[in-house]
């Protein structure tokens, strides 16, 4: 574990800015949001992310695991090894109860009120205590309780169909996860067990049919991602035989999540879903002006997008509008499914970001970099003492962050 921030020994601001003046002001490629095996990930290890980033020319990476910062130490060490700048982030699932009651979909199209929310540029190693630490540990615990119950329900079903094998929560966690076992880990483990223990394709298909209550497997047996998604949809989601609903304690309010992020030295950030494959938006996001007003009222001045699920035209319009409001904007790939896509960010259909979008994404990363540096130095970062973002100093923070990233790469 790193005993202090990797930025603590960086030179003072005048020195960093002077260094940067002697270098070309290039826009670097950024992936500011991806998950690692510390939650669930397409990557088998964090080192794989860096190798792919190096090969694809991505020079800034942002770890963004669910509910945990346990990957920070390894992530920081690998960043130093590869000279790829690290952004230290986290993600939560929160619940806005009033929107749930009103049937308003936020950034989960299937569950009204459920709100995914990120923190950007947390202290590394994490500095958190008191009520905020208790709340973080509460959601970590409740997540594991839920998946442990799923494993037991799945075992009951496997015994019922005479599958000939079963699982334990601790065994799955040791083999497929770190400190948190998630629903996707269970789906992966079941798919692998069926592959390893049953040789006949016909018998595999028959077992899936039994497990799926008579429904045929739609994916090819070689389509691992498709199979795992079908396992989740048929067994682990609402109506599935191994489904276990979250208890209220599994969700923090949005205000509680923002409180944890700010106390952990981070910047509250709303992850935008934007348009889906059919061009639809959630109730919360359909009106850009209304979304802007809502976020500002909640003290949120930072956005992240996963362009791989958005059309270029919609993404461009949205980002242009919020950039005009001096919002901090970053882009990522998530990689929280079995599908191993490139680390380089692109829009749906593999359409590249244009130069302006890449620049905006890099500026966002620079602001987070500056924030991390200033907090490590014991100074105020992008948020003031009241937790309000210094949006009028956007360019100042972007310039300092560019210098911080440049010094790191030396």
Residues 117 and 31 in one domain: yes
**Percent share of the chain, pLDDT over 70:** 99
pLDDT of residue 336: 87
Residues 90 and 226 in one domain: no
Q: Which domain holds residue 201?
A: 135-236
Within a domain: residue 248?
Answer: no
- Res 3 pLDDT > 80: no
Residues 161-220 pLDDT 10s: 999 999 999 999 999 888 889 999 999 999 999 999 999 999 999 999 999 999 999 999
Task: Please tell me the pTM assigned to this model.
Answer: 0.92
Looking from the CA of 269 toward its CB, the CA atoms found within 13 Å total 31
Residues 400 and 319 in one domain: yes
pLDDT of residue 355: 97
- Res 246 pLDDT > 50: yes
Residues 70 and 195 in one domain: no
Residues 100 and 81 in one domain: yes
Q: How confident is the model at residue 343 (pLDDT cuts 50, 70, 90)?
A: very high
| Closest of 116, 39, 31 to residue 70, by C-alpha | 39
Residues 184 and 200 in one domain: yes
Residues 346-363 pLDDT 10s: 999 999 999 999 999 999
Write the CB contacts of 39 (distance below 8 Å, at least 6 apart in sequence).
65, 66, 67, 68, 91, 180, 182, 336
pLDDT of residue 178: 82
Total domains present in the chain: 2
- Res 273 pLDDT > 70: yes
- Res 274 pLDDT > 90: yes
Here the CATH number for the domain that contains residue 44 is 3.20.20.140
- Mean pLDDT across the chain: 95
pLDDT of residue 162: 95
pLDDT of residue 1: 36
**Mean pLDDT calculated for residue range 268-292:** 96
125: preceding bond cis by omega (within 30 degrees): yes
Residues 106-128 pLDDT 10s: 999 989 999 999 999 999 999 88
Q: How confident is the model at residue 23 (pLDDT cuts 50, 70, 90)?
A: confident
Residues 25-56 pLDDT 10s: 899 999 999 999 988 898 989 999 999 999 99
Q: For residues 117 and 324, give the distance between their C-alpha atoms in angstroms, rounded to a whole number.
A: 22
Residues 396-405 pLDDT 10s: 999 999 999 9
pLDDT of residue 228: 96
Least confident of 2-6, 27-31, 379-383: 2-6
**Mean pLDDT calculated for residue range 283-300:** 97
pLDDT of residue 2: 44
Residues 226 and 310 in one domain: no
pLDDT of residue 177: 87
C-alpha Rg value of the chain to the nearest Å: 22
Looking from the CA of 51 toward its CB, the CA atoms found within 13 Å total 6
Within a domain: residue 100?
Answer: yes
Within a domain: residue 398?
Answer: yes
Within a domain: residue 253?
Answer: no
**Percent share of the chain, pLDDT over 90:** 90
Within a domain: residue 246?
Answer: no
Residues 100 and 116 in one domain: yes
Q: Would you give the end-to-end CA distance of the chain in angstroms?
A: 23
């Amino acid at each position: 574990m790193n005993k202090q921030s990797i930025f603590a020994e960086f030179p003072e601001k005048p020195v960093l800015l002077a260094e940067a003046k002697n270098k070309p002001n290039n826009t670097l490629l950024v992936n500011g949001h991806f998950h690692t095996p510390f939650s669930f990930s397409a990557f088998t290890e964090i080192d794989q992310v860096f190798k792919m980033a190096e090969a694809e020319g991505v020079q800034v990476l942002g770890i963004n695991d669910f509910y945990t910062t346990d990957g920070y130490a390894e992530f920081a060490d690998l960043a130093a090894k590869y000279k790829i700048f690290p952004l230290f982030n986290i993600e939560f699932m929160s619940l806005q109860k009033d929107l749930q009651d009103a049937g308003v979909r936020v950034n989960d199209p299937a569950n009204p009120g459920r709100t995914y929310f990120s923190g950007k540029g947390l202290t590394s190693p994490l500095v958190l205590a008191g009520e905020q630490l208790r709340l973080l540990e509460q959601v970590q615990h409740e997540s594991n309780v839920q998946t442990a119950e799923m494993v037991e329900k799945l075992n009951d079903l496997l015994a019922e169909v005479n599958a000939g094998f079963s699982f334990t929560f601790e065994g799955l966690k040791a083999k497929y996860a770190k400190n948190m076992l998630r629903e996707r880990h269970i789906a992966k483990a079941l798919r692998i067990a069926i592959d390893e223990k049953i040789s006949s394709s016909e018998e595999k298909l028959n077992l899936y049919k039994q497990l799926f209550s008579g429904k045929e497997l739609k994916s090819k047996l070689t389509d691992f991602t498709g199979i795992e998604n079908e396992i989740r949809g048929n067994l682990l989601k609402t109506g599935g035989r191994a489904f276990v609903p979250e208890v209220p304690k599994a969700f923090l309010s949005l205000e509680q999540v923002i409180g944890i992020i700010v106390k952990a030295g981070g910047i509250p950030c709303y992850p935008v879903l934007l348009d889906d494959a059919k061009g639809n938006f959630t109730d919360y996001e359909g009106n850009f002006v209304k979304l802007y007003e809502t976020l500002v009222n909640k003290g949120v001045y930072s956005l992240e997008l996963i362009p791989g699920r958005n059309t270029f035209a919609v993404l461009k319009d949205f980002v242009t509008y919020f950039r005009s409001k001096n919002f901090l904007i970053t882009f990522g790939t998530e990689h929280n499914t079995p599908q191993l896509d490139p680390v380089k960010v692109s829009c749906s259909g593999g359409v590249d970001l244009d130069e302006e979008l890449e620049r905006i994404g890099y500026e966002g990363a620079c602001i987070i970099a500056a924030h991390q540096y200033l907090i490590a130095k014991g100074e105020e970062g992008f948020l003031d003492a009241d937790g309000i973002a210094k949006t009028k100093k956007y360019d100042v923070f972007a310039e300092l962050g560019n210098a911080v990233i440049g010094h790191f790469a030396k």
